[in-house]
Structure 1
Amino acid sequence: MHKAVFILPLVLLAACQTPREACISDASGNLPTINRLITETEGNLARGYAIGTREDVEIERDYCERTLQDGTVVQVRCDRARTVERRVPVAINLYAEQAKLDSLYERRNDLQARIAPAIQACVAAYPEE
């Protein structure tokens, strides 16, 4: 059931694409992911650290109504725990991060060269209207 929750927005988004956009998106493969990783890694190097997440548990103090067996309604304390995700700095090895960035640039260049003919075919197959 959880997979359907994640797939539905993708299906709806795909339904909004023109045939040309869908073709280019299919042809692009991992390029958007690589571009996102490049942006993230460049940010890490600029800051000198990465941004990670940590989950903290917070207790919300509240009162709830409860009905006793005799029908009396009483207020009782009902604390609720909730998980909060927080962004935290994470130490990185700047040399390893730079090597990762160099590798991502190389991967992107290779991928762009490989997908260029497929994107040109999409443009030819689905000219702008």
Structure 2
Amino acid sequence: MCRNILFGLLPLLLLTACGTPQERCISRNTSEYRAVSRLLAEVEGNLARGYAWEERQVIRTEWDDCPVVAYDRDGNRRIFYRSCLRNVSDVERYRVPIDPVVETRKRDNLAERKKALSSYAARAVDACKAAYPETKG
């Protein structure tokens, strides 16, 4: 019963997750500005810490309970569990040294790019609000 309700509500949830036309317009027209802002924040964090963060995938082995299918004397299937080893992947963060001169130059370039994009992004937001006014419901 619950599964049927969930499947019935799934299309509605997907439509709501996509956002309103105004939100989609704003998101589409400000994506570069948001990307530059995100990169600028990352570079500023690197400079403040003195190092950058990188991620790598690490495979490790751990004990788990694995299902095993067996048949009894009457031919009925029985499932039981036994201990087994499985590979599990994790993401590990590690520090990477930075060159402060390069990071400073990168920060300055990103700040300049963000400043140049800010007026375009503001105009795009205003245009999206004019094209797709949201009604109070």
Normalization by structure 2: what TM-score? 0.68
Higher relative strand content? 2
Cα distance in structure 2, aligned partners of 1:13 and 1:97: 41
2:46 is aligned with what amino acid?
N
Larger Rg: 2
Residues 14 and 22 of structure 1 are in contact (CA less than 8 Å); yes or no, is this contact kept in structure 2?
no
Helix, strand or coil: the match of 2:93? strand
Identity %: 41
**1:98 paired to 2:104:** yes
The verdict on how the C-alpha distance between 1:62 and 1:103 changes in structure 2, with shifts beyond 3 A counting, is same
Number of aligned residue pairs: 118
Question: Cα RMSD between the aligned structures?
Answer: 3.0
The verdict on how the C-alpha distance between 1:120 and 1:64 changes in structure 2, with shifts beyond 3 A counting, is closer
Residues 53 and 85 of structure 1 are in contact (CA less than 8 Å); yes or no, is this contact kept in structure 2?
yes
2:101 is aligned with what amino acid?
Y
1:23 equivalent in structure 2:
25
The verdict on how the C-alpha distance between 1:94 and 1:77 changes in structure 2, with shifts beyond 3 A counting, is same
**1:78 paired to 2:84:** yes
Higher deviation after alignment, 100-109 or 58-67: 58-67
Cα distance in structure 1, aligned partners of 2:15 and 2:108: 32
Specify every segment of 5 or more residues in structure 1 that has no aligned partner in the other structure, as ranges.
Answer: 1-11
* Cα deviation digits, residues 36-67 of structure 1 (max 9, x gap): 11111111111000011122221112454656
Residues 54-73 of structure 1: pairs in structure 2 closer than 5 A: 54-62=56-64, 64=66, 66=68
Cα distance in structure 2, aligned partners of 1:103 and 1:119: 24
Specify every segment of 5 or more residues in structure 2 that has no aligned partner in the other structure, as ranges.
Answer: 1-13, 74-78
Question: What's the offset of the Cα at 1:35?
Answer: 1.0
Normalization by structure 1: what TM-score? 0.72
**1:34 paired to 2:36:** yes
